[in-house]
Amino acid sequence: MGTLLQDIRYGLRMLGRSPGFTVVVILTLALGIGANTAIFSVVNAVLLRPLPYKNPDQLVAVYDMQPGNMTTPASFPEYLDWREQTQVFQSVTAYMNRSYVLTGAGTPEQIRATGVSASYLPMLGIEPAVGRSLRPAEEPFNGERAVLLSYASWKGRFGGDPSILGKTLVLDARPFTVVGILPEGFLLPNRAELMTGLGIDPKFGVRSLHFLGVNARLRPGLTLAQARKEIQPVAERLRKERASEHGIELFDLKSDITQGARAPLYILLSAVGFVLLIACANIASILLARSVQRKREMAIRATIGAGRLRLVRQLLTESILLGLAG
């Protein structure tokens, strides 16, 4: 231990004698490591961590499979058909992006919203931070009108007012009662600010209109591969009953959510990885050039009894100090 402390003290003195060299190496390492850390943090949060929902491995995205193996969102009748398939799914939920004009709270403003079925939050295992979830009576087109606010919208647009529960928001000239506040950090599709009932107009409830995102929770103990196998007889039966050529396809929900970001993030991570490798190669060249300048020092230390291992250990100690500082 005493020898190690001696090597560290000597290494610090030597680095202090060459401040320009030391600063260049540390900054080069810091930039390379910092860029990799930042990008890996994003990759870890988006691609590697499981979804922040209850039993996320059971969650799947459900798509309509059209002739030619092309997947599309579901139509409303398809969603209703799939919702009945309890031998495969514990629960099935639908959502759609929409927008409203908010009035009665200052200047009229268009605001993003997500219409969902009443089972949306319970299926994900999410409880509102304040208030309650939607009820089945608030899902139909002519049902009761209720709205939940995203946490960011509640804090930013409404000042975090706790008395907003039970108040009325006028959306597209129709009154909606605020029944809950979504948890902090919970993001709605399309980064919407409001959650309302699905409220699908009957004129859009035809099989030729595909506009619904559908998610489901698999039956306990059922893997994605098993679910895909079990859903095929269901798809075949529905094709016969509905005189349709469409099928059903399942995807892991996390993969479905991140599929657009996966390739760009991995490419970016590879790019910054190469930047770090280049930085390390440049630093290695600088260290080799510096070692040539220190030949006289090494020769004197060898003459007074320092072995080769001791000299190598001293150089490694200095490199580790630079790496830690970087």
Q: Do 7 and 64 have their domain in common? A: no
Same domain, 213 and 267: no
| Tokens 């590879």 sit on residue | 270
277 found inside a domain = yes
* Residue ranges making up the domain that contains 12: 2-49+261-325
Look at residues 245, 271, 299 and tell me which one is the last residue of a structural domain: 245
Same domain, 215 and 66: yes
Same domain, 181 and 274: no
* One-letter amino acid for residue 261 of the chain: A
Question: What are 182-196's pLDDT values in tens digits?
Answer: 999 898 888 899 999
Does residue 96 sit within a domain?
Answer: yes
Together in a domain, 76 and 209 = yes
pLDDT of 273 > 70? The answer is yes
Would the pLDDT of 7 be above 60? no
Per-residue pLDDT band for 300 (boundaries 50, 70, 90) equals low
Assess whether 136 and 238 both reside in one domain: yes
Say yes or no: 164 and 194 in one domain.
yes
Do 33 and 154 sit in the same domain of this protein? Answer: no
Q: How many domains does the structure of the chain reveal? A: 2
In the predicted structure, residue 89 carries a pLDDT above the cut 60: yes
159-186: per-residue pLDDT in tens? 888 889 999 999 998 999 999 999 998 9
Of residues 87 and 16, the one with the higher pLDDT is 87
Q: Is residue 91 part of a domain?
A: yes
Whether residue 182 sits in one domain with residue 84:
yes
- Asked if the structure places residue 250 within a domain, the reply is no
10 and 25 inside one domain? yes
Beta strands 213-218 and 194-197, pairing class = unpaired
Residue 262's pLDDT band (cuts 50, 70, 90): confident
Asked whether residue 252 is domain-assigned, the answer is: no
d(CA 112, CA 194): 7
**Which residue among 215, 245, 275 closes a domain?**
245
Residues 70 and 123 in one domain: yes
Same-domain pairing of 202 and 227:
yes
Which pair of tokens denotes residue 89?
A: 């799914």
Residue where a domain terminates, one of 178, 211, 245: 245
Cα–Cα distances (Å) from 15 to 3, 11, 88, 164, 321, in that order, read 18, 6, 66, 62, 9
